[in-house]
Amino acid sequence: MFGALRIMVRRDLLLALRRRAEVANVLLFFVLVASLFPLGVGPDANLLRSVAPGVIWVAALLASLLGLSRMFAADYADGTLEQMLLSSTPLGLIVVAKVLAHWLVTGLPLVVLAPLLALQFDLPADVLPVLVASLALGTPALTLVGAIGAALTLGVRGASVLTALLVLPLYVPVLILGATAAEAAAGGIGAQAHLLLLAAFLVLAAAFAPLAVAAALRISAE
């Protein structure tokens, strides 16, 4: 059964590799949005330092939203989704594989790029590990929750806007915890509580989102 998980993850990574442009778009979007703020807000170092975690988090959130629609759309269009629904491998496990591959391709690079972007905001070096940790815990949760929205809106016209409307309210707790973690670290309070809450949110999403996605896919495919 876990052999199937490995092969499905490998398949999605291979597909992403052969459709590099789509993945690159998400990353480029993240870099551009985060870079617009220093240009728009002006070179006031104190202001930039204080908005940095929030801006980077919002940019990461929007970038992860941008990639959501491609999670199931191609499989739905070419009939692979039907094969997944009829698979002897439990659908929840296939969903886990797809979400994991999606995060490795569109979430993990955001985590890696964030410290570089933080340079533009002159974020103190001791806050960077907290920012990275909050993104490493937060972006998988965003992908898991987003997958529910993507599965529900499958095959609907204007799916990407609808997905955003469904999913953004659910992103709010992650955004608040993630952005304030870095701020707390900068203020010297310590970010442990924020990071633990983010981890709890991630565990909760990992436990329940695959089941919700599986149910949503069955409804959408009918």
Least distance CB 222 / other proteins (angstroms) = 5
Burial of 143 (0-12, 13-18, 19+ CB in 10 A): buried
Contacts with other proteins by CB under 8 A lie at 3-4, 7-8, 11, 14-15, 18-19, 74, 77-80, 82-90, 94, 221-222
Q: Is the CB of 71 or the CB of 135 nearer to other proteins?
A: 71
Helix, strand, coil shares, percent, the chain, to 5: 85, 0, 15
Q: Is the CB of 90 or the CB of 190 nearer to other proteins?
A: 90
Least distance CB 20 / other proteins (angstroms) = 11
DSSP letter, residue 73: H
Least distance CB 221 / other proteins (angstroms) = 6
Closest CA to 146 of 41, 42, 26: 26
Q: Is the CB of 59 or the CB of 217 nearer to other proteins?
A: 217
Q: Is the CB of 2 or the CB of 125 nearer to other proteins?
A: 2
User: What does the alpha-carbon distance between residue 99 and residue 193 come to, in Å, rounded to a whole number?
Assistant: 27
C-alpha gyration radius of the chain = 18
Q: Give the count of beta carbons closer than 10 Å to the beta carbon of residue 156.
A: 12
Least distance CB 5 / other proteins (angstroms) = 10
Q: Is the CB of 77 or the CB of 189 nearer to other proteins?
A: 77
Q: Could you tell me if 64 and 33 are in contact, meaning their C-beta atoms sit under 8 angstroms apart?
A: no
DSSP letter, residue 190: -
User: What does the alpha-carbon distance between residue 222 and residue 219 come to, in Å, rounded to a whole number?
Assistant: 6
DSSP 148-166: HHHHHTTT-TTHHHHHHHH
Least distance CB 66 / other proteins (angstroms) = 20
Q: Is the CB of 2 or the CB of 40 nearer to other proteins?
A: 2
Least distance CB 8 / other proteins (angstroms) = 7
